[in-house]
Structures are given as structure tokens and as C-alpha cells.
Structure 1
Amino acid sequence: MSHDLASRPATLADVPLMAQLVDMAGEGLPMTLWAAMVQGDETPMDVGMARASRDEGAFSWRNAVVGTVDGASKGMIITYDVATEPEEITPDLFVPLIELENMAPGTLYVNVLAVLPDARGKGLGRSLLKEALAARPAGQGASIILAAGNDAAEALYHSLGFREVARRPLVKGDWDTDRTEWVLLVLE
């Protein structure tokens, strides 16, 4: 069965979907971080949505493109350019991620690519990724950091020409995961 796949820039109305997909793509790490930021009657999801609602920062609705399947919002990609100057290291949890990101200066960084489970296998993730890659300036590379063992994601990126550049041990903190390493993939 053929499906109508499309994309559009995210709007503030997409923030709840963004927060859900960011946590899904992050395998629960975002929710763990947001839980530590809760104040008063907020829920971790409230924190995530507030962060997605910002006009600035990597995790902002302004950096997101929403993918649709047959007119329904079902996926999202968030990208931004990696700084050419290395980012300073912050909390321990982020040290390996920032170290890896700093190894791909000037690239288009795929921060999040996620599709809701009921829309997987229809080509939406591949479509969103290919569109983002096609929009890069000539000569700009692309990069992504994945948790090692995410075989479906690795297969998608490898099929589009990404190659593994480096790995770093994962710092878990309060995050309940069986993952042990972060993997940096780069497309030149």
C-alpha cells in the first residue's frame, strides 16, 4: 500500500509531539533529564514541552521538521549546524556526547529523527533524513550520534553513506538503559 508522505516546518502546535518523539528517540534519556528539572506541579513532559517551545537552542521547534503520513503528523527530524569551535564539556552525562559532537565541526547534526511506532516501515524517517541532507549547503557534511545497538537506525544511516568515526562509553547517571556506548556517524 502506498502512503502519502510529506513534511512541513514545525509550529508551536507540534510541541507535544516533539517532546514525545524526542524522548522516544532518546530511549528515555530526555525524560530522565526532564524529571530532574521538574519544579512545583510540573511533570517531566511539561519540562520537555517547555524546552521544545523555546525559540532558541538545539531542542527548539524552530529546528524541527514534522513528517506526515496520509496527512497525519507521525514523525520529526531536528537538525542544526555543529559549531566550528568545540563546545565546552558540561555535566558528566553529556561529556561523551559533546566529545563526539566536537569531532564533527561544521556538519549538519541530526539531533533527533523519530517516527511514531504506528507509522514505521512506510519510509517517513528515510524521507525526512534525505530531505534534510538535500537542503545542506554544498560541501557540508552531516553527523549523528546513536546509542550503540540501535540496529535499525544504524542500518538507515549506513544505507545513506554515513560511516562510523568514533565511540565513547555512555554515562548513565539515573538513566535506566542497557546501552553502553555512543557512536558517532558522519557523512562527508
Structure 2
Amino acid sequence: MEIEQALKSDADDLAYLIDIAGEGMPQYLWSKLADPGQGALALGAQRAAREEGGFSYRNALVCRDRGNVLGMIIAYRLPAPYVVGDLNDYPEIVQPLIQLESKAPGSWYINAVATYEAARGQGVARMLMLEAQEKGRLAGCSLASLIVASGNKSARHLYKQLGYEDVASEPIIEYPGCPYGGDWLLMTKQLEG
């Protein structure tokens, strides 16, 4: 297994995996934005292939085994200051996430990490997290941040093992297919210089 920078050609994998990481929210939002006849995941792949924006292959690392993508992570520096603006400009289900992101300005934000089901339990997510944290440290960030559903016990367990701590929460606004109720949790970790 090797961790490497994602390629534009990984866009289909990135869209599929970010939907897993986002608890189905990405596919729900893409379905609202897709052109008639365009599938939600096809729109997600189109977005992943962009050169700019947080959800871009340029911000993604993938774990490969013999050329096959096993998992991915998307991480980048949040703006500082983080200007929220009018929350009503965002879809309602995203508003709690925006509020939490704004509490960690300038941090190295782990936007999404996910592995294909067949690759789970092999340490892929841990490897991706460690590599992303190192990228953040090298980029001069002293803090890493992420947001996770309070009900996602396996992800929270991994993050706690890696030294992340809960710092803030906002209620989840449920959407069709939402697997968890409860809260979104902002977790942070100091990155060593």
C-alpha cells in the first residue's frame, strides 16, 4: 500500500468515497444540483476533477494497492479569519458544519477520510490521517481539525486514538438517508512543529 497525491483520473473514486465520509450528504446535495439526466455521483466526480475548491483532487491523497484506490483523504488549510457571512446562503443541512469550521480558523482541516468496505480494518484510514497531518505540519499549521457525527463510533474511536479531542458541537439537521441523529462534533489536535 502506498499513499500518493490523487490524480484527476481518481475523480470517480473520490466522489464515491467522499459520499461515504459525508454520511450520504454529498450525494443528497449533488442530486439537487445535477442537470436533468445527470447522476448525483457523476456531478460529484465532475466536482472532484476541478482544479480549485476544497473538494478537488488537488487536496486529496489516496492509498493505492497495485494501482487500485483503497481509500482517500481530503485536507486543506481553513481560511483565517474564517468569515461565515450569511448562513442562509448555505443549504440548511450544511449550516452546522460551516459554524463548526469557523471555530478552527487557519487549521489543517481534514474534510473527509474514507476507505472502500473491502479495505477496512487494514490501517488505511490511519495511514491517510498520519500523512495528511504531516502535510499540514509542513504547511505551517499548528492545529488539525475535523468534523464527525457523534454517532459514528468507529471514526470517533480512530480520531481519539490519534489524539483528537472534542471542542464544539452543533445539532445535525437530518436529511434523506441521514444515518445519524445527534450532533456534529468538531475535533482538533495540536500538530507538532
The answer as to whether partners of 1:69 and 1:124 remain within 8 angstroms in 2 is no
TM-score scaled to structure 2, two decimals? 0.90
Q: 1:139 to 1:178 in 2, by over 3 A?
A: closer
Residue of structure 2 equivalent to 1:156? 158
Whether contact under 8 Å (2:108, 2:141) holds in the other structure is no
Within a 5 Å distance, the mapping from 1:3-152 to structure 2 comes to 5-88=1-84, 89=87, 90-135=90-135, 136-137=137-138, 140-152=142-154
1:29-67 residue CA offsets vs partner (Å, 9 max, x unmatched)? 111001101112211111111111111101001100111
Instruction: Identify unmatched segments of 5+ residues in structure 2.
Output: none
Please identify runs of 4+ aligned residues in structure 1 that moved more than 3 A: 173-178
Corresponding pairs, count: 184
Quick check: 1:68–1:124 contact (8 Å CA) kept in 2?
A: no
SS at match of 1:122: coil
Residue identity opposite 2:188 in structure 1: V
The one-letter amino acid paired with 1:58 is G
In structure 2, C-alpha distance between the alignment counterparts of 1:45 and 1:164, rounded to whole Å: 31
Q: What code does the residue aligned with 2:105 have? A: P
Question: Hey, what's the Cα distance between the residues in 1 that align with 2:116 and 2:162?
Answer: 21
Q: Secondary structure at the match of 1:184?
A: strand
TM-align CA RMSD: 1.5
Q: Which moved more, 1:82-91 or 1:172-181?
A: 172-181
- Aligned amino acid, residue 41 of structure 2: M
Same amino acid, percent of matched pairs: 36
